[in-house]
Amino acid sequence: MGDMKYTRRQFKADFPDESACLQYLFDLRFGPDFKCEKCGRSGKFKRTKNRRTFTCGCGKRQVSPTAGTIFNKSEIPLEDYFLTIFLMSQGKNGMAATEIARIVGCEYKTALSMSRRIRSLMRFGSSPFSGTVEVDETYIGGRRHGKRGRGAAGKTAVFGISNRDTGKVFAKAVPNVRAKTVMPLIRENVKIGSTVMTDEMASYKRSKEHGYNHHTVRHSAGEYVRGNVYTNSIEGFWGQLKRSVDGTYHAVSPAHLQEYVDEHVFRWNHRNSPVHLFHLLLSEVVRPS
């Protein structure tokens, strides 16, 4: 995240109650001068009493700023949702549902439900990378004593691509890192003709056949940088992801790992944004799907 700060004091001033949260969503989604299709007048919508809707002064048109969003058909107060988004937007490592429950003052299952809905806003969406990219894999989770399971020592494999030109990453939990699994992901997310930097893993050896300028660094031989050939950028992302999973969430099941990967890809890709992550997430709430 960039230098933009958004403090708890500012948050409390901007969103003191349910009405303030709902008004913000209405303005963000429709704009303060929203025009009524029935009477043709603009800026005449007012909050409907005891409902999450706004009604035009003519009484013939009613709209809901929460329809089709993560708040739709949820009885959880918007105040709690907004506070959870704020809490999750602070720092690099995210926040566990247990801590959210403690601060918000709700049940653990409520905090978990809110955080999962909020993470759904962070799914990767981008045009394919071009230029120079780094491709690598890592393993997340598992047991300390290494019972056999997914990936290495019971861990789940995560495949990743880092674009050196933009600093953005793509990452996906995968069942394995065989060529038949990773090469389609490279083709889908990297434009043909781009330069691809990898380690010497066999799965990447056919990159040149697929139209990429492929260069390899030999980690097994103790080689980590050879001129412009290295995978340090994607490894930097792996380090942040592992610190977050191990330090904040402690254990993440393979079934839900992609949600946490998406969260930290989103954080990483917006780390230099001039807009605070809190406001970016609220913009995602009302973005057309």
Instruction: Output the domain CATH number for residue 162.
Output: 3.30.420.10
Strand partners, 139: 157
Percentage of residues of the chain with pLDDT beyond 90? 78
More confident position, 270 or 248: 270
Q: Are residues 173 and 212 located together in one domain of the fold?
A: yes
**pLDDT tier at 153, thresholds 50, 70, 90:** low
DSSP designation for 274: S
Return the pLDDT at 142. Answer: 62
**pLDDT tier at 204, thresholds 50, 70, 90:** very high
Return the pLDDT at 226. Answer: 85
Establish if 191 belongs to a structural domain.
yes
Helix H segments across 30-151? 78-88, 97-104, 108-119
Strand partners, 215: 197
Mean pLDDT confidence for 239-255: 86
**Residue 151 predicted with pLDDT over 60:** no
**Residue 141 predicted with pLDDT over 80:** no
- C-alpha–C-alpha distance, residues 137 and 171, integer Å: 9
**pLDDT tier at 174, thresholds 50, 70, 90:** very high
**Residue 289 predicted with pLDDT over 70:** no
- C-alpha–C-alpha distance, residues 72 and 148, integer Å: 41
Q: Are residues 118 and 191 located together in one domain of the fold?
A: no
Q: Are residues 117 and 173 located together in one domain of the fold?
A: no
Q: Are residues 110 and 60 located together in one domain of the fold?
A: yes
Mean of per-residue pLDDT scores for the chain: 90
**pLDDT tier at 148, thresholds 50, 70, 90:** very low
Establish if 44 belongs to a structural domain.
yes
The token pair that represents 127 in the structure block: 């045009």
Mean pLDDT confidence for 223-239: 91
Q: Are residues 63 and 92 located together in one domain of the fold?
A: yes
**Residue 105 predicted with pLDDT over 50:** yes
**Residue 2 predicted with pLDDT over 70:** no
Establish if 19 belongs to a structural domain.
yes
Mean pLDDT confidence for 255-277: 93
More confident position, 67 or 142: 67
Return the pLDDT at 144. Answer: 42
pTM: 0.89
Q: Are residues 20 and 58 located together in one domain of the fold?
A: yes
Domain that holds residue 52: 8-123+276-285
141 phi-psi bin (left φ>0, alpha ψ -120 to 50, beta other): left
Structurally, the chain folds into a number of domains equal to 2
Amino acid, single-letter form, for residue 7: T
Burial of 162 (0-12, 13-18, 19+ CB in 10 A): buried
pLDDT tens digit sequence for 37-62:
999 999 999 999 999 999 999 999 99
Q: Are residues 161 and 186 located together in one domain of the fold?
A: yes
Q: Are residues 107 and 145 located together in one domain of the fold?
A: no
**pLDDT tier at 149, thresholds 50, 70, 90:** very low
Q: Are residues 115 and 147 located together in one domain of the fold?
A: no
Mean pLDDT confidence for 100-116: 97
More confident position, 213 or 125: 213
Q: Are residues 90 and 141 located together in one domain of the fold?
A: no
The backbone torsions φ and ψ at residue 3, rounded to the nearest 5 degrees and listed phi first, read -85, -5
Establish if 271 belongs to a structural domain.
no
- C-alpha–C-alpha distance, residues 281 and 198, integer Å: 33
- C-alpha–C-alpha distance, residues 132 and 139, integer Å: 24
Return the pLDDT at 17. Answer: 96
Q: Are residues 115 and 154 located together in one domain of the fold?
A: no
Establish if 261 belongs to a structural domain.
no
**Residue 275 predicted with pLDDT over 80:** yes
Establish if 263 belongs to a structural domain.
no
Establish if 16 belongs to a structural domain.
yes
**Residue 79 predicted with pLDDT over 90:** yes
Return the pLDDT at 16. Answer: 96
**Residue 155 predicted with pLDDT over 80:** yes
Return the pLDDT at 96. Answer: 92
Establish if 209 belongs to a structural domain.
yes
Mean pLDDT confidence for 177-200: 96
Q: Are residues 101 and 171 located together in one domain of the fold?
A: no
